[in-house]
A and B are shown apart, each in its own frame.
Chain A
Amino acid sequence: AQTVTQSQPEMSVQEAETVTLSCTYDTSESDYYLFWYKQPPSRQMILVIRQEAYKQQNATENRFSVNFQKAAKSFSLKISDSQLGDAAMYFCAYRSLNAGNMLTFGGGTRLMVKP
């Protein structure tokens, strides 16, 4: 079974600065998807960014980008120009192509943004 680990329970960043959230995973599969989800106080789960394992290029969505290191099984999220609205819980998730559509989540990182 796959496991996803987020080693930072909490992180803080100054507004307009850059922060990186860490995620590592364990799998024996060669093809899979990785995601970062944002959960604001409203509790809604919002997809931030996704990465297909077969793609070498790191995914980017506006101020959000990832550093995908397949050999190291690492998938970190970089938030540039942090905004107050970025404050939330962030979850890293893994999706196997062989287990239906099940997502395996990490324990989450709470991001605080200081004005």
Chain B
Amino acid sequence: EAQVTQNPRYLITVTGKKLTVTCSQNMNHEYMSWYRQDPGLGLRQIYYSMNVEVTDKGDVPEGYKVSRKEKRNFPLILESPSPNQTSLYFCASSSTRAIYEQYFGPGTRLTVT
């Protein structure tokens, strides 16, 4: 089954404790991205990657890091989480041949206290 998976689905952590949210897709997609969803703001892009070892900033990259060492994986790293990073996070992927459609993961609910 074609899918995007994220782990963990729920995470509660404390300020300053480094964390990683994993994202993996099994569709051999070139493009992957991370979004955060906040009430009234829709989804805003954090980082995206056009292919392995190619990443770029989205609209709200501050406080986040990403890496793309393998085509299927695109982890999101919060080196020193802060309460304003409490949000719902989505990973998405798409093929550059079918650029009109992005497949979204199930979301990760992160709470930073």
A interface residues, Cβ below 8 angstroms from B: 4, 6, 9, 33, 35, 42-45, 47, 50, 52, 91, 93, 95, 100-108
Q: Tell me the nearest residue of chain B to A108, going by C-beta.
A: B42
For B106, the chain A residues whose CB sits under 8 A away are 42-44
- The listed residue (B40, B50, B107) touching A9 by CB distance below 8 A is B40
- Residue pairs across A and B with CB atoms within 8 Å: the count is 60
Is B90 touching A105 in the complex (CB atoms < 8 A)?
Answer: no
Q: Which of B11-19, B66-74, B75-83, B95-103 contacts A (4 or more CB under 8 A)?
A: B95-103
Is A47 touching B44 in the complex (CB atoms < 8 A)?
Answer: no
B interface residues, Cβ below 8 angstroms from A: 31, 33, 35, 40-45, 48, 50, 56, 58, 88, 90, 92, 94, 96, 99-102, 104, 106-107
| Chain A to chain B contacts (Cβ below 8 Å), 8 pairs | A9-B40, A44-B106, A93-B42, A101-B99, A104-B45, A106-B42, A108-B40, A108-B42
For B35, the chain A residues whose CB sits under 8 A away are 103, 105
For A47, the chain B residues whose CB sits under 8 A away are 101-102
Cβ distance A90 to chain B, nearest Cβ, rounded Å: 11
Q: Tell me the nearest residue of chain A to B30, going by C-beta.
A: A101
- The listed residue (A35, A50, A91, A102) touching B58 by CB distance below 8 A is A102
For A103, the chain B residues whose CB sits under 8 A away are 35, 43, 45, 92, 102
Q: Tell me the nearest residue of chain A to B44, going by C-beta.
A: A105
Is A95 touching B100 in the complex (CB atoms < 8 A)?
Answer: yes
